[in-house]
Amino acid sequence: ELAMAGCLAKLKDGCNGFTYDGTQFTLYKSTKAVTPTVDTVAWKHMGKALKSNGYIWMMVLKYRLVGYDSTTTYTTLTLATTACAASSTCLGVTYEGSKKYRTNNANTPTSASTMTAYIKGNKWALHDSIYYTWVDGHTIDGDYSTTTYTTAAKAAAVCKTKSDCTGFSYDSSTKKYTNKKGYYFEPSEGTGVWVRGGVKPTVYTMSISYGGYTWAYKEPYKLSGYVSSTKYTTQAKALTACAANSKCNGVTYEGAENYRLNTGSTAMPGTKTHKCWVKGGSSVTSQGYSWGSYSGYSLGGMIGTTYYTTRAKALAACTSNSKCTGVVRNSSNKYFISSASSSGKVKKTNYVLYKKGSSAKSYSGYSYTVYSGYIYSTYLADTVYKTPALAGAACATKASTCTGINYVAADKYKLTKGTTLKASTGLKVYIKGGYDYTSRDINFGNEIWTAQSPYTCSGTKADTKTYTARDTALKHCLANSACNGITLTGGKYTLYKSGTLTKLSGSLSWVRSGSILSSDNYHWDKQAGKTLTGYYDSTTYTTLAKATAACAAATSCKGVTKEGTTKYRTNTGSTFSTNNARDAWKQGDYYVLHDSYYYTKVSGVKLGSIQTKAYTTEAAAAKACKASKATCTGFVLTSKKYYLAKGWMLYTDNDYTAFVRNHGKVTYTSYTTMKTYYWKVKGPYLHDEYTTKTSYDTLIKCITACESATTCKGCSYVDSKSKYYQATTAVYYLGEGDDKAYTKGGKAVVSNSYIWNTKSANTKIDGDYLDSTTYTTLDKAMLACSTKTGCTGVTKTATSKYRTGQKSTTEEKSGMQAYFKGNGVVTYKLLTWTIVSGQVLSSQQKTAYATYKKGIIACKKDSKCKGVNMVSSKYYVAQGAHLSDSSGNKCYIMGQAYTPYFTYDSTVWYYKEGYKTTGDIGFGTTSYTTRAKAMYWCARNPICNSVHYTSKKYNLRTGTTVTDEEDDNAWVYGTSTVDFTTVYLPISTGLWNPRPGYKLKTVIGTTTYTTLPKATAACMLNSACLGVHYVTKDKKYYICSTGTPIKTTGYVAYPRKYPCDGSCKAVTKSKVITIDMKYCYTVSSIELSNEHTCCSKNTGKVVIKVGSNTCATVTMNGKTSAILVDCASGAVGKKITMTYANIGDITIDEIALTVTGSDSDNCS
């Protein structure tokens, strides 16, 4: 036996056999030729052997036997050897081709490169784990003793106890068995001998999971064919290399630190040192077993008639059935269980086979195969652990040396090293396999992330920082355009630029994939410009929602492709390929939604750090998890109870279902609002650095404080606290719920229905201008930008030169100034209302309004109102601040107090739409048909403080306080640079020059007046009075005896004006005499006197006009000395003209006029 083992160990060195000369065994190499030698016995190594049908068969590759023993062709080797064993003339079998075996009557092999010969040898038997070969008509010459036995089993049992017993003979005459010793044979008629061979090796078979595959382990067996000349020093290295090599079908352990990759996949008996691992299908661990997944294969031997609707149910049924060897999913997406062996595996399109392996467990990121009745013979340490989970955690920390866990007694587990098995009744070994590979998709920030362990992202880091919380790390990755993944290792999270993964024990990585659609309880990975292959069926869907719903309900549907407008198809392929005309959505993991939080549901796994408190419902566990989301990673279901978890790692465990916390359901919002500054609003975001030292209960309080603080960059609204906080940075990251980041910009401008952000000086909008047009004013440029597609703002390039831009960033440019266009806005009811298209506010009320203005009026009356929704062209009050997507609709978000203003005629006017003012002026023209005229005269009247539009008239008002009046409008006077030196107001029939900031000298008497008309009327009756002034402090009017204004703050002077400043003269030119009154008057009568010595020569008619209006037409002849004319109504103007038919020698020496002051347009 030792010589045989020694020669087998040296086969690669050329050993072909050995001899025995009576005293010792000698090994030989390089030749199989034997020479007859007295007292010597030779053993030749003949190659691979098979045991079948009671015979030993020598297998000779690339050879055949000649001479057919029969005409029958057999389809399998077993059928052929069975027939040959039953035939006395058959000496062997030849494999001639696929499913073609023939029996032969000769046993001398001849070369045949495509064939294999199986030469029939001696009969064999196995007694008490020792092989015996039958040699007929011979015996061994030495008796071990004179004792005889009635059965071969009894003789073999005794022989096994004697190391020098070489077999036992059988005497057919006595039917007795006698044990023998020695190695020399001699003929013996009627006698045969069972020659003792080797001990049947203990064969260990099991399946393990490693590198994503299942491996069938057999010992002592080996595989044929080398993939390469490389030798690996450890099992892990060899299995990893084989898993990554498509040509590799298994691994053989050939000796100390010598693992080889093999091309063969059939395990063959080897020496006692040989071990092999045959690569199977993709690894699936479920129901406490490892399963090899084989796509495109089926298995016969269906057990019963039941078809299962889910894989989980089928695997569970197979687990509970001792005859079940696997599960098959057919092309109809139904599952059945099978009892057939692996040899019955056949190719079948659209089928998947799940071959049942060994009992499996998962601990601390590694898979373990449970092998009962055996333990590993060598311990790594003496430490005893109470549970396999604790032992597994310890084993994971000693990854390079720990090979498994021995169960040695109740609640006692010890770590092992080495892989030598030994039988141990009642004990078992947990054989350490490869990593426990887990994966799940999550929705975080409306992007899809695939979390995989044990992997790390590789390459360059996207951030120099590390983070202590997953959510924080993911939020920073989202805000970093260079970040494509994060890795958790040793309690720290690191951001990476690349999402490429490499294996690393104990690590967990989240890879960023892009846009996500979470619908129909599945996460869908959206990729623009991509397509999926393989149609699930012939149906074309008109909407994405219909297509994803259909795909979610179909087991073999893997995604949806948009192939055109209203054309969606469901797909069976799950690999994206480029097609710029299409978009695709690949189906990911299943999720549940609780309280606006996503949880990915994964069966057969559990999260780490499971807590002890039990919850009776999924909803209750989800609620508790959300409430403690700072530490809660999800929850697990086991034994109909739910438990929260605090670890992110997933571990395979069929008794659990994990619900992995994702992120809250996110509705992104982005709009602008304003106070003095422009504010950019992003939700749900929070600034990276906001101070909680001071909180504000309203937005206006926070932004008011922020606008006055140079260090403040914005305000963050924290939804969970319902408070606003100042931020010292403009950088913001994803938040929760209705969190919002309000980031301060430049000074705000409202123009042409948009809010505009004034950027810092010396900036221009990046890149080329939108077009070649240059505008002369900012307002004109903003008006043009507000109507042009693609316009992002305006740049002032030089004095009176403005250009429109098309990018959203700025660059430095000396002497320039950029203005960015923000959201659309309406200003109504003294508030800004930011327009957000495609989204609506929550808590919409039932009453519908026909216009947004009516909706806004209703909103202002509702103390809970946050804005107005436009839904299906109707307007509704909304009391909630949460925004949600609503295609084709929009909302008007209530903003801050704001009064639109503009400058007209050197005067600032504040526009208050939907309001009215009161207070009659009390003198002069107070109502106009155009706003321009009303504003012109209001700006020149110190008594006038507003213009009120109602009933198609613009009225001058003294008041500034506004009150609601839906169809009215008011413009309140602001500041003005009007030149009052040329302004004249008609009051109390007189004409007065208002002079704000001036007074008159010498007040007449002590009487004061409360109104300007009363004061001017009194002045008109007092011949000494030349004007009136108003004292702002006591709000009284006084009449004065001087008419020269003196600049004095706190007064308004009204010096009286007279026609021609009190000295009218007639100026003759040709036939026209002109009297310039200088100011606008309505003339009632004109009395003219001529010199008495003149006028003898004038004749005919005289046309008298005031301005362009005819006063009267009279006839003058001869020596008329005077005329008195009463003017027709409407004789208004600054000049009086008399046009003579024949003027003669008229000389006017006296003029008497009856007039009243006027503000008629005739004088404009």
* Average pLDDT, integer, range 182-204: 87
Q: In sequence order, which residues have a C-beta less than 8 Å from that of residue 269 and are 6 or more positions away?
A: 48, 49, 201, 220, 221, 222
Task: Answer whether 418's CB lies under 8 Å from 373's CB.
Answer: no
Q: Which secondary structure element, helix H or strand E, spans residue 227, and what is its range?
A: strand 226-232
Task: Answer whether 413's CB lies under 8 Å from 387's CB.
Answer: yes
Paired strand residues for 502: 456
| CA max distance for the chain | 195
**What band does 1148 get if pLDDT is binned at 50, 70 and 90?**
confident
What Å distances lie between residue 886 and 95, 824, 864, CA to CA?
A: 73, 18, 22
Task: Answer whether 489's CB lies under 8 Å from 506's CB.
Answer: yes
Confidence at residue 749, expressed as pLDDT on a 0 to 100 scale = 87
- DSSP class of 308: B
Task: Answer whether 982's CB lies under 8 Å from 1010's CB.
Answer: no
Q: What is the CA radius of gyration of the chain?
A: 53
Paired strand residues for 58: 49, 119
Nearest Cα to 474, choosing from 454, 497, 495, 446?
Answer: 495
Confidence at residue 451, expressed as pLDDT on a 0 to 100 scale = 96
What Å distances lie between residue 188 and 139, 501, 1061, CA to CA?
A: 6, 73, 169
**What band does 29 get if pLDDT is binned at 50, 70 and 90?**
confident
Task: Answer whether 360's CB lies under 8 Å from 372's CB.
Answer: no
**What band does 281 get if pLDDT is binned at 50, 70 and 90?**
confident
Q: In sequence order, which residues have a C-beta less than 8 Å from that of residue 213 and are 6 or more positions away?
A: 243, 279, 280, 281, 282, 283, 292
Q: Which residue has the tokens 């950019």?
A: 680
- 551 φ/ψ angles, rounded to the nearest 5 degrees: -65, -40
Reply yes or no on whether the pLDDT at 1095 is more than 70: no
- Number of helices (H), then strands (E), belonging to the chain: the values are 14, 79
Confidence at residue 901, expressed as pLDDT on a 0 to 100 scale = 87
Reply yes or no on whether the pLDDT at 645 is more than 80: yes
* Average pLDDT, integer, range 739-750: 93
Task: Answer whether 1062's CB lies under 8 Å from 1049's CB.
Answer: no
Cβ neighbour number for residue 802 with a 10 Å cutoff: 23
Q: Which secondary structure element, helix H or strand E, spans residue 968, and what is its range?
A: strand 963-976
Confidence at residue 604, expressed as pLDDT on a 0 to 100 scale = 83
**What band does 1021 get if pLDDT is binned at 50, 70 and 90?**
very high
What token pair was written down for 860?
């202002």
Confidence at residue 170, expressed as pLDDT on a 0 to 100 scale = 96
Cβ neighbour number for residue 37 with a 10 Å cutoff: 10
Confidence at residue 418, expressed as pLDDT on a 0 to 100 scale = 86
Q: In sequence order, which residues have a C-beta less than 8 Å from that of residue 98 and are 6 or more positions away?
A: none
Specify the 3-state DSSP secondary structure of 1018.
Answer: helix
d(CA 386, CA 413): 6
Reply yes or no on whether the pLDDT at 1120 is more than 70: no
Task: Answer whether 930's CB lies under 8 Å from 954's CB.
Answer: yes
Q: Which secondary structure element, helix H or strand E, spans residue 449, and what is its range?
A: strand 447-453
d(CA 41, CA 484): 73
Half-sphere exposure of residue 619: CA atoms within 13 angstroms, side-chain side: 1
* Average pLDDT, integer, range 327-355: 89
d(CA 862, CA 843): 13
Confidence at residue 1121, expressed as pLDDT on a 0 to 100 scale = 67
Specify the pTM. Answer: 0.69
* Average pLDDT, integer, range 813-839: 93
Paired strand residues for 516: 525
d(CA 571, CA 157): 66
Percent of the chain at pLDDT > 90 equals: 73
**What band does 1094 get if pLDDT is binned at 50, 70 and 90?**
low
Nearest Cα to 1125, choosing from 1162, 1153, 1146, 1090?
Answer: 1153
Q: Which secondary structure element, helix H or strand E, spans residue 548, and what is its range?
A: helix 544-552
Residue 237 carries which side chain, given as an amino acid letter?
A: K
Q: Which of 214-228, 805-819, 880-894, 1105-1119 has the least mean pLDDT?
A: 1105-1119
- DSSP class of 652: E
Task: Answer whether 189's CB lies under 8 Å from 137's CB.
Answer: yes
Residue ranges of E strands in 287-343: 289-299, 326-329, 335-338
Reply yes or no on whether the pLDDT at 342 is more than 80: no
Nearest Cα to 793, choosing from 743, 754, 827?
Answer: 754
- 554 φ/ψ angles, rounded to the nearest 5 degrees: -110, 125
Reply yes or no on whether the pLDDT at 336 is more than 90: yes
Confidence at residue 1119, expressed as pLDDT on a 0 to 100 scale = 59
User: 251-273 pLDDT, tens per residue?
Assistant: 999 988 899 999 998 888 787 78
Confidence at residue 416, expressed as pLDDT on a 0 to 100 scale = 96
- 39 φ/ψ angles, rounded to the nearest 5 degrees: 60, 25
C-alpha distance across the termini of the chain, in Å: 135
Q: What is the mean pLDDT of the chain?
A: 92
d(CA 287, CA 306): 19
Task: Answer whether 716's CB lies under 8 Å from 689's CB.
Answer: no
d(CA 278, CA 265): 6
Cβ neighbour number for residue 830 with a 10 Å cutoff: 18
Q: Which secondary structure element, helix H or strand E, spans residue 420, and what is its range?
A: none
d(CA 86, CA 80): 10
Confidence at residue 434, expressed as pLDDT on a 0 to 100 scale = 80
Angle at 1130 between CA 1125 and CA 1132, to 5 degrees: 85
Give per-residue burial for 557-595: e unless 16+ CB within 10 Å, then b. bbbbbbeeeeebbbbbbeebeeeeebbbbbbbbbbeebe
Task: Answer whether 996's CB lies under 8 Å from 1009's CB.
Answer: no
Q: Which secondary structure element, helix H or strand E, spans residue 855, and what is its range?
A: helix 852-861
User: 589-619 pLDDT, tens per residue?
Assistant: 999 999 999 999 998 889 999 999 999 999 9
**What band does 1106 get if pLDDT is binned at 50, 70 and 90?**
very high
Reply yes or no on whether the pLDDT at 284 is more than 80: no
Confidence at residue 1045, expressed as pLDDT on a 0 to 100 scale = 97
Confidence at residue 1096, expressed as pLDDT on a 0 to 100 scale = 60
d(CA 431, CA 206): 10
1124 or 498: which leads in pLDDT: 498
Reply yes or no on whether the pLDDT at 201 is more than 90: no
Nearest Cα to 480, choosing from 455, 509, 445?
Answer: 445
Pairing, β 41-44 against β 250-255: unpaired
What Å distances lie between residue 771 and 147, 803, 820, CA to CA?
A: 118, 8, 16
Angle at 210 between CA 209 and CA 212, to 5 degrees: 95
**What band does 47 get if pLDDT is binned at 50, 70 and 90?**
confident
Paired strand residues for 973: 909
Percent of the chain at pLDDT > 70 equals: 99
Burial class (CB in 10 A: 0-12, 13-18, 19+), 1050: exposed
d(CA 683, CA 9): 73
Confidence at residue 1118, expressed as pLDDT on a 0 to 100 scale = 60
**What band does 706 get if pLDDT is binned at 50, 70 and 90?**
very high
d(CA 819, CA 453): 49
288 or 742: which leads in pLDDT: 742
- 900 φ/ψ angles, rounded to the nearest 5 degrees: -60, 145
**Alpha-carbon 683 to chain mean position:** 14
User: 64-81 pLDDT, tens per residue?
Assistant: 999 999 999 999 999 999
Half-sphere exposure of residue 896: CA atoms within 13 angstroms, side-chain side: 18
Residue ranges of E strands in 608-649: 610-615, 634-638, 641-645
Task: Answer whether 283's CB lies under 8 Å from 293's CB.
Answer: yes
